[in-house]
Amino acid sequence: MPLEVRLNHRSGNLSLPTPRDAGRTTHEIYLSAPDVGPLEESFLVSALRSGWAAPAGPELTAFEREIAERVGVNAAVALSSGTAALHLALLGLGVGPGQVVVVPTLTFVATANAVTYTGARPAFIDSDPATGNIDVSLLPELLEKLQASGQRVGAVLPVDIFGTCADYSALLPICAAAGVPVVEDAAEALGSAHRGRPAGSFGAAAALSFNGNKVITTSGGGMLLSDDRVLVERARFLSTQARLPVSHYEHPEVGYNYRLSNLLAAVGRAQLQRLDEMIRRRRQVRELYANLFATVPGVRLLGNCDDEANCWLTCIVVEPDRAGWHAAELAAHLAGHGIESRPIWKPLHLQAAYENSGGLLTGAAQRLFETGLALPSGSMLSDRQRATVLKTIRAFLAASG
Ligand SMILES: *Cc1c(COP(=O)(O)O)cnc(C)c1O
C-alpha cells in the first residue's frame, strides 16, 4: 500500500508553524520553520519500510556516526531531545544534589532545567552584550565566589547562543584552572565553529538539539557528543531504562526513556546531508539584514557575522534613544503583516521558576531581552518571503525615521 506522506516541500507556498506557534494562525512567515522535503521523505519512508520502527536500528547507528564525524568527536548517542542530552551529560560528570552548575541567564529554559533534573542548582552568569553569550570575564569571580562559600561547582554549561560559539579560547583555561568540567550546550550551533573547531566538540561533553525550529530537525530529538566513550556508553545505558543487555529485563539502577526513534534518525540523516546548504541560506538571510540595518542608527546585529557561525537566528538590538523606536514596535508592525518575530530569550533569573537562584549578574542579558528582536531566519524562507520581510521592515523604518 503506498504511503501518503504530506510534507512541507520548498515548492509549497506556506511554511509549517513551529510547535510553539501551533495556536497562532496569523503568521505567514515564520522565524525558523522546519525545512524538510523530498529527501527527508524518502529517508523516512525507507526506514519505515525496513521494519525498524523502534528506538533502535541501523539509522540510529549511522546518524550517530555521521554527526560524530561531522563534529569531530569520538562518540555520540542519539536521544529524544537536546534537554535529555544535557541531562545525561551532567549525570555522566557526576553532577547531582548539593552541587551548583554555572548557566548563562540568557538561554532557553532547557539549559537550566537539565541542571535541576540532576538535583543540582543553577548559578546564573550574565551575557557579553556583543554576542549574548556567557560573559567570560565574569567567570573567574563567580567560580571563586562559589568555591569560597563552600559550594561544589559540578560544571560550567556555556551555550552557543543563536549559533555563535561561546569564547572557548578564554573559557576553557579558566574552567581547567578551577578544576570544573565544561558541558557545551550546542543545541543551536550545529555547523558553527570557534577558531576552526566545530561546535559540539568543546568541553567534556556537548548536547545538540534537533527540535523543529533548529538548524536541522528530526521533528524532536537530540544528541550527546563526547570524546569520552565511557561517558557516552553510560548515557546510552541510562537512555534505555538502564537495561542490561540480557534477554530478561534486568535493571541495576533507575534509567530514562530517552532514546531517539530509528525513524527520526533517518530524517536526521537526510537533514545532515543538506546542512551546509541550509546554513548557506541562513547566512544569506543574515547578510540581507546586515545590509538593511547598516545605515540605521541605533540598530546592530547581535553576535558575529563571520563565517564561523551557522546564523541560526539573526537578532537585532535596538537602542530606542538613538533609533527613535523600540524593537517591540517593529515586532508589532511585522505581526500586522503576518511575519513572526520574537524577543530574545527572557533571562532565566527573571523567570518565576528560577527566581532567587543567585549567580553573577550585570544587567546585560536583561538589556538584550528588552531591546532585542529575533527576525525570520529560516532556511525555508523563499526569495519572495525574504523580499516581503525586507520590504515590510523598510516601510516601518521609513514611517519611524
Ligand atoms: C533548543 C534548545 C535546547 C533544548 O533542546 P530540545 O531538543 O528542545 O530539548 C537546549 N538549549 C538550548 C540553548 C536550546 O536552544
Domain boundaries, the chain: 6-33+275-400, 40-273
Q: How far is the CA of 173 from the centre of ligand 1 (A)?
A: 26
Average pLDDT score over the chain: 93
Residue 5 pLDDT exceeds 60:
no
Spacing, Cα 231 to ligand 1 middle (Å) = 21
DSSP one-letter code for 209: E
> What is the predicted pLDDT for the residue at 10?
39
What is the whole-number distance in angstroms between the Cα of residue 187 and the centre of ligand 1? 5
Q: Check if 357 has its Cβ closer than 6 Å to any atom of ligand 1.
A: no
The CB of 309 under 6 Å from ligand 1? The reply is no
Calpha distance 218→210 (Å, rounded): 5
Q: From ligand 1's centre to the CA of 35, what distance in Å?
A: 18
For the CA atoms of the chain, what is the radius of gyration? 21
**36 Rama class: left (phi>0) / alpha (psi -120 to 50) / beta:** beta
Atom of ligand 1 nearest to the CA of 211: 7
State residue 25's pLDDT score: 52
- Atom 2 of ligand 1: nearest residue by CA position: 187
* Ligand 1 near 345 CB (within 6 A): no
What fold, for 6-33+275-400? Aspartate Aminotransferase, domain 1 (3.90.1150)
Closest ligand 1 atom to Cα of 83: 9
Contacts 24+ apart (CB under 8 A), 45-48: 45/3, 45/5, 46/266, 47/262, 47/263, 47/265, 47/266, 48/3, 48/263
CA distance 367 to 360: 15
Ligand 1 contact, 312 CB (< 6 A)? no
Cβ–ligand 1 contact at 379 (below 6 Å)? no
Element (H, E) at 59: helix 58-71
Establish whether residue 341 lines the binding site of ligand 1, counting it when its CB lies within 6 angstroms of any ligand atom: no
Q: Is 164 in the pocket of ligand 1 (CB under 6 A)?
A: no
Question: From the alpha carbon of 188, which atom of ligand 1 is closest?
Answer: 15
107 close to ligand 1 (CB < 6 Angstrom): yes
Confidence of residue 306 (pLDDT cuts 50, 70, 90): confident
Residue keyed to cell 505567514: 28
Select from 157, 161, 188 the residue to mutate for testing ligand 1; criterion: most ligand atoms less than 8 Å from CB. Answer: 188
- Ligand 1: centre distance to CA 331 (Å): 24
In this structure, the residue with its CA closest to atom 6 of ligand 1 is 82
Would the CB of 293 count as within 6 Å of ligand 1?
A: no
Mean pLDDT to the nearest integer, 159-174: 97
> To 10 degrees, what angle do helices 383-400 and 327-336 make?
130
Q: So what's the pLDDT on residue 3?
A: 39
| Structure confidence by residue, pLDDT tens digits, 330-370 | 999 999 999 999 999 999 999 999 998 999 999 999 999 99
Nearest to 200 by CA among 209, 211, 189, 210: 189
Please check the confidence at residue 181 and state whether its pLDDT lies above 60: yes
Q: Is 211 in the pocket of ligand 1 (CB under 6 A)?
A: yes
Distance CA 69, CA 81 (A): 20
CA of 3 to the centre of ligand 1 (A): 31
Strands 205-209 and 197-198: unpaired
- SS3 assignment, position 147: helix
The answer to whether the beta carbons of residues 183 and 225 sit under 8 Å apart is: no
Q: What is the pLDDT of residues 83-138, one digit of tens each?
A: 999 999 999 999 999 999 999 999 999 999 999 999 999 999 999 999 999 999 99
Can you give the pTM of this predicted structure?
Answer: 0.93
Percent of the chain scoring above 90 in pLDDT: 91
Q: Is 354 in the pocket of ligand 1 (CB under 6 A)?
A: no
> 200: Cβ below 6 Å to ligand 1?
no
CATH 3.40.640.10 fits 40-273, yes or no: yes
Q: Is the CB of 132 under 6 A from ligand 1?
A: no
| Sign, CA torsion 190/226/353/178 | negative
DSSP assignment string, 329-377: HHHHHHHHTTB--B-----GGGSGGGTT--EE--SHHHHHHHHEEEE--
The answer to whether 130 and 309 are in contact (CB under 8 A) is: no
pLDDT tens across 252-299, in order? 999 999 999 999 999 999 999 999 999 999 999 999 999 999 999 999
**String of DSSP letters for 259-313:** BPPHHHHHHHHHHHHTHHHHHHHHHHHHHHHHHHHTTSTTEEESS--STTS---S
Each residue of 10-58: pLDDT tens digit? 333 333 334 444 444 568 999 999 999 999 999 999 999 999 998 999 9
Q: What is the pLDDT of residue 62?
A: 98
Kindly state if the Cβ of 108 falls inside 6 Å of ligand 1: yes
